[in-house]
Structure 1
Amino acid sequence: MEETPAGNISIHVGQNSDAATIDGPVEIDLTNYASGYSGFIKYQRLLFIAQRCPALKNKALNLAHDYIKAQTLDITSYEHIFGVLKNPEDLGAGDNPIGLEQLNRCNSDLRSDSDHPPAQSSSMDVDHAQPGEDETGLVYDPNWVEKTCSRVMRHREELETELKNYKANSIKECIRKGYIELGDFCLKIGELGNALKYYTRSRDYCTSRQQDLKSCLSIIKVAVYQGAWSHVSAYVTLAENICESQENESMPKDTGSQCLGSHSAWSGNFDASSRNVDLRPVSEVARTELAIAAGLAKLISSSFHEAATHFLQANCEPDDSNSEKAAPLVTASDLAFYVTLCSLAAFDRTELRSRVLNSPSFRLVLESEVHCRDLLMAFHSADYANCLNSLAKVKNLLKLDIFLADRVNSLYEQIRVKALCQYFTPYISADLNMMAAAFGTTVTDLENELAILIQKGCIKGRIDSHKQLLCALSVDQRCQTFATALQLIDECHRRCQAAILRSNLMRHGYMRGWSLLWQYDHRFEYPGLMVSKAGNT
């Protein structure tokens, strides 16, 4: 998997057959779906849906247009919407939701050495949309673009001037705050490259671990938007180390007071007991965000077992998506589907029961997402036909998720393969007719699937087409025991030869750091050794 330069979101990278247009029906309340998200990810998800699903294109573009105009200063994405309406091919499958103009502009900003990038301009390389109404009912507003551009230029100059003054006065805390404000501002106008740059520089002026943790979380969020997954993994590790150090310091070792910074979440004097009460919840929230980011990085790299492990560490309440603070990346519903699919594809039945179905923290999320719970229960109880049919019904819906879309086919394939293997495991022979009925397919198609799995070594058996049976390969335990014993003998012989060779090398002084020590220990056994070597040492 390759990563794109910093500039805009690029979750779906590399050559992947999943990046296809969704032509089938999709049952989704787009307005309710979009209400669960906030910030940059909200309209990027809507633009992604418009890209993948023609049936929802107009609705998604309308919602994205209204949110961008009301809550952001992202002129590039606003004009991109009308550019797409004018040239629908600009929203082709596999392309990034945002136009290439923003990517090129942000990349050039990252390559420049200037601390203060030029103000955003509304004169893009794309053709400007003209005022008027189209099939979606959207009307291009040149006045909003002009006013927003002026507002962006003015606010950027103010923030840059403040930062210069802070640097001139060498006020470390204010410099950090200035970089954070510039990063937030660049994120609001869609300049991800500059936002990442400012957030990264703010870490140089952090005076507490809490401030450093907040900067790392901001960097991780922007890196996820960019699709810079190696960057995400690196900063997740760094932030986890900060959390551990912070939690160790929060233990009630003394009763003294401590100040964590003038602008940190906890400022002023407080004792150790109050510090425990305040610090723990914030640390749990941070760990949840880190677990989600790490899980997304593993999901994109198709490491489904590790992805499920990380997602299960996220302590996400089922009603988070309905709260006033909407999710900046994924909702509790998204997390439930991520865990369900990844665990079905990667966990065995024991892990599925102990780590997912019996998980105290994840059980609440499953209870709010009944569909996911039913899928897990059906698979665990070997009701594979019902499980696979239910998965087929939500396949198009899952392909609308910006993080999951390009992994849906791969996940579904692994889940089906695992179901076939688990079905046959307890049997010496299985009737293909009964097996086909259990998986809702024909005997011919099932034979083709099983033949491929046998060739790959997933199933150790053979197909009797005449009797329509799948028979397990019989293994002679006596021969297997002899073969294992011979392997152990060969391994012991190899280890003995290696030990003798190492001993001879040490005896003759050919091992660095061991020759003098060995000679001294064996000076009575080989009296001439130290004498012969004395002239050389």
Structure 2
Amino acid sequence: MDQNLQAFFTLVENQDGVVVRDPPKLDLEIYIQNYKGRTRFDRLFLIGRSSVPLCVEALKAAIAEAKRGKDTHRYREAVELLRIAAPSEPEATYDQAWLEAQEASNKAETNRLLTELKGYKNNLIKESIRMGHEDLGKHMESIGDLNAAAEAYSKMRPDISTPKQFLDVGKHLVRVSIQRQEWGMVTAHLGKLGGTQYAEDDKAVQTYTKIGYGIALLGQEKYKDAALGFLAADPAIPASSYNELASPSDVAVYGGLLALASMDREELQSAVLENSKFRTFLEQAPHIRRAVTQFVSGRYSACIAILESYRPDYLLDLYLQKHVPAIYSQIRNKCIVQYLIPFSCVSLDTMEKAFGRPGQSIEDELADMIQAGALEARIDSIKKLVTTRTANPRSQMQAAALRTAEHYERQALDRLRRIGLAAADLELKGGKKLGGFAPQHDFLVEETLG
């Protein structure tokens, strides 16, 4: 590795950043074409900061993307990283003329929009005021002042007159909140966005909302809820409706990975493999379909092998990067637990062949799972065996008998109460139709039965 690159990634590691040394499977130019808006720069910048093989290419692309926009702060950040990683590149030198011209233009545009908005407010024309706030919000977002952009978009709400305008405001606020990674605000704005009749009738808005919820819930580590959001997206909706958030391939990857981490075999079969809508998304990421199929078929080591081969790609994803270790750990633990279910005893050598990883003992991993309560088993270090704990059939039978007796007793008491009420010619209002009575009326039943 080049000395400058080595020094750059040493610095990244010292700052607790993620460094991906293995080459990913993605083609950077084709990959970034799937997105629009400010997320393009965010993704290029993350790849440049994290991927050793793609560092220079991604940072140069990020600089070019920044110069196509108005955000001079982003441009400075990308150039500064490239100066450390590859100081000999032409793009590693600041384009001072562009910087000065763009900053002057940004300032002039801000003043112009503020002056126009002030005039609209003086004239008290609601539509003009709404459009003035929207123009100001878009401008502030484009130059990177997300706080001012969110404030401007919020001020559009009092002047909204149509459902379409309401949806536009919601999307603006969702987009800005996602950029700021304020996941609670994302879900709050999406809740308002999906609460209108217009949204319920618009499948494009529904899909946008479900993908937005998925991203926000992923950010909050609510993996199963996030998976359900992605799994409910409609593939018939054009990607242009939501590619400022994610691409169709992202929807397949996010939905499939999170489902693997949070659902059992039956749920995976019905919610993923037999989901006709999501199957269309899976065509964009066939390896995810193969991984889910391998898990459902009981070929756990093959499932893990597929996912491990794509780990570098997922570590370069804007929303997945922070969660890859946790998601992969949950999937791996599920595979190990499912693998052991049919057996009462398995040798450590067999487990090592199925789930072993270079530089890590499977015995230590199993011990950690047992201590965490993820696996009910015992390890015999002398005989090199893993013995699963099986429940006592006699205890299970006794517990089942007790539950049945308690259920029968409750049903018998309910029937006696109904008989008592009928005999007293009483009618109980507000109670359940079948079984169960309101506590405040129990004294009537007791007196009747007495």
Number of the residue aligned with 2:24? 26
Does residue 1:147 correspond to 2:106, yes or no?
no
Q: By how many angstroms is 1:346 displaced? A: 0.6
State the shift of 1:432 in Å. 4.1
Alignment partners' CA distance in 2, 1:486 and 1:336:
46
Cα shift at 1:355: 0.4
**Shift of residue 166, structure 1, vs aligned partner:** 1.6
- Once the two structures are TM-superposed, the CA of residue 39 in structure 1 deviates from its matched residue by 1.6
Unaligned runs of 5+ in 2: 1-14, 414-439
1:405 positional shift:
0.5
Q: 2:222 aligns with which of 303, 311, 331?
A: 303
Alignment counterpart, residue 156 of structure 2, candidates 202, 224, 239: 202
**In the TM superposition, what is the alpha-carbon distance from 1:79 to its structure 2 partner?**
2.1
Rounded to whole Å, the distance in 2 between the matches of 1:29 and 1:408 is: 20
SS of 2:23's equivalent in the other structure is coil
Residues 474/37 of structure 1: CA separation in 2 closer, same or farther (3 Å cut): closer
Deviation at 1:425, TM superposition (A): 1.9
Q: What are the equivalent positions in structure 2 for 1:338-353 lying under 5 Å apart?
A: 338-353=254-269
Q: Kindly tell me: are residues 433 and 426 of structure 1, through their superposed partners in 2, closer, same or farther at Cα, counting changes over 3 Å?
A: same
Partner SS, residue 53 of structure 2: helix
Structure 1 gap segments, 5+ residues each: 1-16, 89-132, 249-279, 497-517, 526-537
Counterpart position of 1:137: 90
480 and 377 in structure 1: CA distance in 2 versus 1, 3 angstrom threshold: closer
CA shift, 1:84, in A, is 2.9
- Matched residue, 1:77: 74
Structure-1 separation of matches of 2:167 and 2:173: 10
**Does structure 1 retain, via aligned residues, the 8 Å contact 2:356–2:362?**
no
Amino acid at match of 1:312: L
Of 421, 432, 454, the residue aligned with 2:337 is 421
1:356 to 260, 272, 290: 272
- The residue identity in structure 1 corresponding to 2:162 is S
The one-letter code sitting in structure 2 at the alignment partner of 1:202 is M
- For 1:221, the equivalent position in structure 2 comes to 175
| Matching residue's letter, 2:214 | G
Aligned-residue offset at 1:33: 1.5
Aligned partner of 2:11 in structure 1 is none
After TM superposition, the score normalised by the length of structure 1 is 0.68
The one-letter code sitting in structure 2 at the alignment partner of 1:472 is T
Distance in 2, matches of 1:382 and 1:389, equals: 14
Q: Is the 8 A contact 1:22 1:396 kept in 2?
A: yes
The equivalences for 1:220-239 within 5 A come to 220-239=174-193
Secondary structure in 2 matching 1:55: coil
- Corresponding residue of 1:335: 251
Letter in 2 for 1:197: E
**Structure 1 contact 59–136 (Cα < 8 Å) conserved:** no
Partner of 2:203: 284
Match of 1:246 in 2: 198
Higher relative helix content: 2
> 2: CA distance between counterparts of 1:18 and 1:449?
24
Aligned equivalents of 2:59, 2:395: Cα separation in 1: 67
What's the offset of the Cα at 1:32? Answer: 1.6
Contact 2:199 2:205 in 1 (8 A): no
For residues 385 and 318 of structure 1, what CA distance do their matches in structure 2 show? 35
> What are the superposed Cα offsets for residues 308-353 of structure 1, whole Å, 9 maximum, x if unpaired?
0111122245983xx6x88212111112111121111111011101
Name the amino acid aligned to 1:345.
A
Match for residue 454 of structure 1? Answer: 370
Q: Which has the higher contact order (CA 8 A, sep 6+)?
A: 1
What is the Cα deviation at residue 87 of structure 1?
5.3
SS in 1 for 2:290: helix
Q: Map Cα deviations across residues 457-516 of structure 1 (whole Å, 9 max, x no partner).
A: 3222333455544333243333344456668999999xx9xxxxxxxxxxxxxxxxxxxx
Q: Quick one: distance in 2 between partners of 1:79 and 1:467?
A: 61
TM-score between both structures, scaled by the size of structure 2: 0.80
- For the residues of structure 1 that align with 2:382 and 2:97, how far apart are their CA atoms? 76
Secondary structure in 2 matching 1:368: coil
Partner of 1:167: 121
Which residue matches 2:430?
none
Which residue of structure 1 lines up, in the alignment, with residue 55 of structure 2? 57
Match of residue 13 from structure 1: none
Counterpart CA distance in 2 for 1:470 and 1:85 is: 51
Whether 1:191 aligns to 2:151 is no
* Mapped partners of 2:83, 2:283: distance in 1: 45
Classify the secondary structure of the residue corresponding to 2:167.
Answer: helix
1:397-416 to 2 correspondences below 5 Å: 397-416=313-332
Q: Please give the alpha-carbon distance, in whole angstroms, between the structure 1 residues aligned to 2:402 and 2:315.
A: 52
Per-residue CA shift, 1:188-210, capped at 9, x if unaligned? 11111111111111112111222
**CA distance in 2: counterparts of 1:472 and 1:142, whole angstroms:** 67
How much does 1:382 deviate?
1.6
Secondary structure, counterpart of 1:241 in structure 2 = coil
Equivalents in 2 of 1:33, 1:318: separation in Å? 20
Aligned CA-pair RMSD: 3.0
CA distance in 2, matches of 1:451, 1:423: 16
Which residue in 2 is equivalent to 1:40? 38
Identity %: 31
Give 1:150 shift. Answer: 2.6
Counterpart residue type for residue 302 of structure 1: E
2:387 partner SS:
strand
Change in Cα spacing, 1:223 to 1:356, as seen in structure 2 (3 Å) is same
- Call closer, same or farther: CA 1:318–1:24 in 2, change over 3 Å: farther
Aligned positions, number? 399
